[in-house]
């Protein structure tokens, strides 16, 4: 009998504090394919589809590829948009007459109008249609890991790395477990431990790099199939906020529970060391200017990372740099479709008076009036995030005065790679300061060209100072708002947190 695989991707990360809705236009402009994603080069959230297709075909399985829909994070997904995307996955599944294995790459932090846990809702609907199928889901580690997801799916895993450069190995692992479960070789049981922590954890250095190694080591324990640490996504006022450990064991619910709890407690005990204070804009600029000239200092405008649902048009950092008259600055990407339009109409080499940024919400600050020369206009370029190529939209390189360069674009996206500047012709090595709107994803490729990288606690819709946000659902009781939520940790977990 030929086995049948059904697969799909749906990904957006909802910043519930962001006033801009996520509508179908957000998916259309970023990435929306109806069963054809594996016919083109992968991006971060379609890497898994490529892996699953090739693995399934090698097994001689039939593959049904459904939706691949990705939107840059913004506010709540509108109800009609969510209904249409969810409906397409389910009607494709109905059209295929079900499947033996269903693998989904979902984000895990999508919130729609009236649906706080979109991924749990989709998985429950998939399970209702296919009660006997093996259902596996790969999530971004910036997810709200919910009981509903784990009840509906047989296998749930998250990325381990942030920046996310491990979508492919995670997809391989999920496929392996699904195949073995289908063959009756393993009986996966899952357990979740709630660490009661809100934070931002880059995994490439220090304590978090060790924690990732520990997860890999735990997976070598006999009987343990998979260990995931869901970091959570901080800019969302949802009930299931915060970091959670998820362990899949082979048939041994007690082992899954003990391992999740032991690892979760060990993560929790290290919360002080894992929590970083980021400098203010003032502190960061003072510190950057003291640096010698061994390549540029790279400043991350964390508060305006559109990858976490900030608008991408905040002007706090640009204003400060212009007011101080700092030399040798490159700054991007500022999302301002109106400025892009005006520059396209004026053409390259035009000198224009422009009002830049600061349009979307109070998180954006005020617009800035500049005189600038249009150095270059380009469309269709991409920037790498791991092996995947992410779109940049139409970009405009503007020069103010002698050596201040801005890159403005019409597609909300964070900066991942120096390519975002250098393909336009801006030579970052010649700059003193390079400012990027991003939190962590930019880090490795920019570290390679920088004398120093400073992540800055700028104001904005994705400020790393969580006290700027009003948490009413799940956030208020978590570290760092509560010094030691350990009692809650015990209560929560005693109250049957384990999902076997």
- For residue 472 the two structure tokens come to 């009413």
Whole-angstrom Cα Rg for the chain:
23
Reported as type and span, the H/E element at residue 95 is: helix 79-95
Span of 137-145, 187-195, 319-327, 446-454 interacting with Zn ion by CB under 5 A: 137-145
Residues in the chain: 500
Nearest distance in Å: CB 232, Zn ion = 10
Number of residues near Zn ion (by CB under 5 A):
2
296/460 with CB nearer Zn ion:
460
Give the sign of the dihedral formed by CA 178, CA 180, CA 183, CA 187. negative
Nearest distance in Å: CB 38, Zn ion = 22
Figure out which of the listed residues 65, 92, 119, 140 binds Zn ion, where binding follows CB under 5 A. Answer: 140
Span of 90-98, 135-143, 191-199, 308-316 interacting with Zn ion by CB under 5 A: 135-143
Contacting Zn ion within 249-308 (CB under 5 A) = none
Span of 90-98, 123-131, 138-146, 431-439 interacting with Zn ion by CB under 5 A: 138-146
142/257 with CB nearer Zn ion:
142
Nearest distance in Å: CB 448, Zn ion = 21
Nearest distance in Å: CB 498, Zn ion = 26
3 state SS of 214: helix
First-to-last C-alpha distance (Å) of the chain:
30
140/173 with CB nearer Zn ion:
140
142/431 with CB nearer Zn ion:
142
Contact 464, 438 (CB under 8 A): no
Largest CA distance in the chain: 71
Contact 145, 108 (CB under 8 A): yes
Nearest distance in Å: CB 439, Zn ion = 9
Nearest distance in Å: CB 159, Zn ion = 7
Nearest distance in Å: CB 4, Zn ion = 30
Nearest distance in Å: CB 107, Zn ion = 8
- For residue 479 the two structure tokens come to 């570290």
309/418 with CB nearer Zn ion:
309
Contact flags string 113-132 toward Zn ion, x per CB under 5 A: --------------------
Per-residue DSSP letter, 467: G
CA 181 from chain centre, in angstroms, equals 29
142/359 with CB nearer Zn ion:
142
Nearest distance in Å: CB 194, Zn ion = 19
109/321 with CB nearer Zn ion:
109
Which of 142, 146, 145, 143 minimizes the C-alpha distance to 162?
Answer: 142
> Rounded distance, CA 479 to CA 67, Å?
37
The residues, any chain, with a CB within 8 Å of residue 272's CB and separated by 6 or more, are none
Q: State the helix-helix crossing angle for 167-182 and 47-58, rounded to 10 degrees.
A: 40
- For residue 140 the two structure tokens come to 């971004």
- For residue 33 the two structure tokens come to 């394919």
Contacting Zn ion within 14-43 (CB under 5 A) = none
> Rounded distance, CA 248 to CA 251, Å?
9
Strand extents, DSSP E, 317-381: 329-335, 351-356, 368-378
Nearest distance in Å: CB 490, Zn ion = 29
Span of 140-148, 267-275, 323-331, 407-415 interacting with Zn ion by CB under 5 A: 140-148
- For residue 15 the two structure tokens come to 């910043």
3 state SS of 260: helix
Span of 38-46, 139-147, 268-276, 317-325 interacting with Zn ion by CB under 5 A: 139-147
Contact flags string 52-71 toward Zn ion, x per CB under 5 A: --------------------
Which of 235, 145, 140, 116 minimizes the C-alpha distance to 475?
Answer: 235
103/234 with CB nearer Zn ion:
234
Nearest distance in Å: CB 444, Zn ion = 15
140/313 with CB nearer Zn ion:
140
Span of 87-95, 133-141, 190-198, 290-298 interacting with Zn ion by CB under 5 A: 133-141
Nearest distance in Å: CB 142, Zn ion = 4
140/304 with CB nearer Zn ion:
140
The residues, any chain, with a CB within 8 Å of residue 210's CB and separated by 6 or more, are none
Nearest distance in Å: CB 363, Zn ion = 20
230/433 with CB nearer Zn ion:
230
100/140 with CB nearer Zn ion:
140
- Taking CB atoms, the residue at the shortest distance from Zn ion is 142
Contacting Zn ion within 141-180 (CB under 5 A) = 142
Contact 196, 485 (CB under 8 A): yes
Q: What are the backbone dihedrals phi and psi of residue 291, each rounded to the nearest 5 degrees, phi first?
A: -70, 145
**Does residue number 231 form part of the binding site for Zn ion (CB under 5 A)?**
no
4/107 with CB nearer Zn ion:
107
Give the sign of the dihedral formed by CA 229, CA 231, CA 236, CA 241. positive
Tell me the H-state helices in 24-101.
24-30, 47-58, 79-95
> Rounded distance, CA 215 to CA 219, Å?
6
Binding region for Zn ion (CB under 5 A) = 140, 142
């Amino acid at each position: 009998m030929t086995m049948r695989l059904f697969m799909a991707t749906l990904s957006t990360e909802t910043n519930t504090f962001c006033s801009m809705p996520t509508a179908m236009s957000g998916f259309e402009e970023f990435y929306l394919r109806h069963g054809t994603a594996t016919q083109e080069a992968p991006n971060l959230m379609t890497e898994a589809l490529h892996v699953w297709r090739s693995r399934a075909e090698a097994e001689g399985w039939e593959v049904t590829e459904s939706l691949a829909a990705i939107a840059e994070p913004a506010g709540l997904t509108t109800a009609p948009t969510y209904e249409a995307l969810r409906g397409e996955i389910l009607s494709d599944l109905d059209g295929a007459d079900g499947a033996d294995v269903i693998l989904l790459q979902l984000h895990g932090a999508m919130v729609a109008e009236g649906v706080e846990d979109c991924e749990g809702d989709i998985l429950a609907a998939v399970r209702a249609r296919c009660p006997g199928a093996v259902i596996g889901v790969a999530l971004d580690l910036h997810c709200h890991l919910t009981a509903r997801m784990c009840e509906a799916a047989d296998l749930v895993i998250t990325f381990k790395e942030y920046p996310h450069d491990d979508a492919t190995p995670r997809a391989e692992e999920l496929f392996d477990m699904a195949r073995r479960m289908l063959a009756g070789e393993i009986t996966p049981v899952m357990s979740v431990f709630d660490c009661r922590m809100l934070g931002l954890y880059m995994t490439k250095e220090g304590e978090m790099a060790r924690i990732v190694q520990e997860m890999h080591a735990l997976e070598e324990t006999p009987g343990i199939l998979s260990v995931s640490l869901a970091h959570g996504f901080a800019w969302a006022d949802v009930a299931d906020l915060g970091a959670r450990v998820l362990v899949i064991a082979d048939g041994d619910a007690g082992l899954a529970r003990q391992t999740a709890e032991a690892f979760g407690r060990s993560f929790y005990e290290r919360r002080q060391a894992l929590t970083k204070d980021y400098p203010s804009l003032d502190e960061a600029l003072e510190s950057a200017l003291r640096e010698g000239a061994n390549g540029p200092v790279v400043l991350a405008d964390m508060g305006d990372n559109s990858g976490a649902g900030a608008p991408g048009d905040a002007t706090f950092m640009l204003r400060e740099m212009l007011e101080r008259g700092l030399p040798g600055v490159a700054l991007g990407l500022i999302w301002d479709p109106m400025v892009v339009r005006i520059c396209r109409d004026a053409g390259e080499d035009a000198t224009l008076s422009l009002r830049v940024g600061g349009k979307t919400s109070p998180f954006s600050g005020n617009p800035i009036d500049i005189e600038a020369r249009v150095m270059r206009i380009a469309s269709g370029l991409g920037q790498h995030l791991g092996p995947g190529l992410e779109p940049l939209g139409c970009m405009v390189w503007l020069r103010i005065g002698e050596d201040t360069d801005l890159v403005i674009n019409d597609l909300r996206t964070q900066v991942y790679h120096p390519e975002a500047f250098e393909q336009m012709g801006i030579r970052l090595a010649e700059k003193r300061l390079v400012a990027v709107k991003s939190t962590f994803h930019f880090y490795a490729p920019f570290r390679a060209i920088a004398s120093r990288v400073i992540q800055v606690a700028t104001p904005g819709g994705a400020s790393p100072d969580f006290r700027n946000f009003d948490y009413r659902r799940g956030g208020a009781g978590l570290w760092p708002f509560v010094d030691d939520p350990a009692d809650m940790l015990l209560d929560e977990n005693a109250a049957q947190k384990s999902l076997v």
